[in-house]
Amino acid sequence: MKAVPRTDPEHAVSWPMPVGLQSPILRPVPIIPAFSQQDRIPATSGTTSVLPQPVWDCWYDGDFELDCLLEFYRENHQLRGHWSCEALGGLEGGSVNAETWDLGKLTRRRCHGVILCILCKIPIRPHSSRVRIQKQLGPCSKCGADLVHRTCGATANVYVFVNGVHFKHQGSHDHDRPPRLKLSASESKTLRNLILENPTSGPQQLLVGRPTIDGPGESVATISPLLLNSDRISYERRKIIERTDKNSNFDREISKIERTYPGVIQFLQWGNRFKIITLQTTFMSSLLTKPLIDSEAVNGFLSDATHRFWNMDKSLLMITSAFEPTHLKSWVPVLVSFIDGGTAEHYRAHFLQLFLAIKRECERLSLVVTDEHFANVVDFSAAERKGFILAFVDFWIEDENDSRSEDDLIEKAGKLLRGCLRHFEAQITRVKKISAVVHPSRIDLFENFARQMLRSSSASEFMDTTEEFKIAFPDASKWIVSQTIPRSGDTTSSDHL
């Protein structure tokens, strides 16, 4: 086996990475897991596997831990393997918005091994539950001998958090490999490229091999044994072509919007990393700057993401609003974005477009852009807060007239952010109804703690109350930590909401 040189300058990382990686805010997980049968770094307890070019091995085995970016996690089918695994469920309190992996949302999987015939040794893939596995056992359909179930104790824990994903595997798969069900991410990509290069080739032709001057070309069956079946090739081919047609329709619709409403699309990125479309009209941009209103708490911007607005899983409608004091006397959207997820990178792209729009409007009015133009109220989402701070740093780092360091910009961005009272109250209402966390007889105490937090006059008083809360409600400690990540300024005191 070949290990990556520790001194490779192109892929230099801290070595070894600690298992308890505490990724600081604004720093994405600096490593990407990748291991294959050809290039595997032996992983032991207390180390993290790292390779410069990620290749996810779906037949993962042995004790190891590793970290990856959310993009890699999604591209590789949530780091699922070819083993037959049962989902064991997670634990209460984990959140995808947590800053560290140990507080993230946990999914557990357990391998069910393989079913074998005692004579012909033909492997059979176990079903996903013990009850269904028992129904599989019986005489072999080929030779009539008994089928036996070889169990496996290997487990995989997957923690999803705001900075990425932490994967922990324990145990060895000391049994034969069961038949596969799905293509790996790399196999799917290879097949997609081949089909798009030969869109008129049917399933049978793809199986036999594309015609060339020298005879039939390479068969798609060389990509994966699953593609020895023409029906499976037809299924995969249909998925790829339908998805390509949808993308073509998307391009036409975007072009239609640009023709009908020229200039309304401020930014568009539709790639594998993430997707975002930002819209803004001339009237919306005119509301980005206004005189300070001393009599009411209506200065700055409100930013919130609406879930389940689009008929697409995990896609959000991100809206930043400002108060229009003259005619409408209400909050009006000043920037609207479609984003295909709720990661910090999605919010970073939205807020950066907001800051650039503010800069353009200030230049139009011959105003000097200051930090205070960017003051924002956001919900209690760590990803949204982090995205704002990342965008703030991006904006000012590009300004030649700004000499502040990155750390100074991070501190300043934290002071410009405020929590949203409505979202915090909604979280309180949700958690207090979970009897396993808050006993019904202690709901009043739980709410009193929440009100005391909102009345805090300083950051130290707020944190003292939080510590008392964690002692009184230990099962809710992970939740309150995710809601009260320390930042510059007492961002959750009532006068800031």
Q: What are phi and psi of 168, to 5 degrees?
A: -130, 120
DSSP state of 146: B
- Candidates 170, 166, 62, 65; CA nearest to 110 is 170
Write the CA distances from 67 to 84, 87, 300, 379, integer angstroms: 23, 20, 37, 27
Q: What is the pLDDT of residue 120?
A: 86
pTM above 0.85, yes or no: no
- Pairwise CA distance, residues 133 & 303, whole Å: 50
Write the CA distances from 113 to 61, 131, 139, 154, 478, integer angstroms: 12, 15, 19, 9, 34
Q: What is the pLDDT of residue 39?
A: 36
What amino acid is encoded at 416 in this protein?
L
Q: What is the pLDDT of residue 464?
A: 83
What amino acid is encoded at 65 in this protein?
E
The two beta strands, 275-279 and 265-270, are antiparallel
What secondary structure does DSSP assign to 410-446, as a single string?
Answer: HHHHHHHEEE-HHHHHHHHHHHHT-TTTS-GGGHHHH
Helical axes 382-397 vs 344-364, angle rounded to 10°: 40
Q: What is the pLDDT of residue 246?
A: 59
- Give long-range contacts, CB 8 A cutoff, 24+ apart: 49-55: 50/4, 50/13, 50/15, 50/17, 51/4, 52/4, 52/8, 52/10, 52/11, 55/186
Q: What is the pLDDT of residue 61?
A: 92
Q: What is the pLDDT of residue 378?
A: 67
What secondary structure does DSSP assign to 201-237, as a single string?
Answer: --HHHHHH--EETTEE---GGGT-GGGGSHHHHHHHH
Q: What is the pLDDT of residue 8?
A: 35
What secondary structure does DSSP assign to 152-175, as a single string?
Answer: ---EEEEEEETTEEEEEEES---S
Q: Quick check: helix, strand or coil at residue 333? A: strand
Q: Is 433 exposed, middle or buried (0-12, 13-18, 19+ CB in 10 A)?
A: exposed
Q: What is the pLDDT of residue 1?
A: 35
Residues linked to residue 330 through DSSP beta bridges, in sequence order: 324
- Pairwise CA distance, residues 130 & 154, whole Å: 15
| pLDDT tens, residue order, the chain (497 aa) | 333 333 333 333 222 333 333 332 223 333 333 334 333 333 333 344 433 445 788 999 999 999 998 888 888 888 989 999 998 877 777 888 888 898 899 999 999 999 999 888 889 999 988 888 988 888 888 888 889 999 998 999 999 998 889 999 999 999 999 999 999 988 998 998 888 888 888 889 899 887 777 777 888 999 998 999 999 999 999 888 877 665 566 777 888 888 898 889 999 988 777 889 999 999 999 988 876 544 444 457 888 888 888 877 788 999 998 888 888 888 899 999 999 888 889 999 999 999 999 999 999 989 888 888 888 776 657 788 889 999 999 999 988 888 899 999 998 888 877 655 555 666 677 777 787 778 888 888 888 887 787 777 776 787 888 888 888 888 877 767 655 554 433 343 333 33
- Candidates 383, 369, 443, 311; CA nearest to 160 is 383
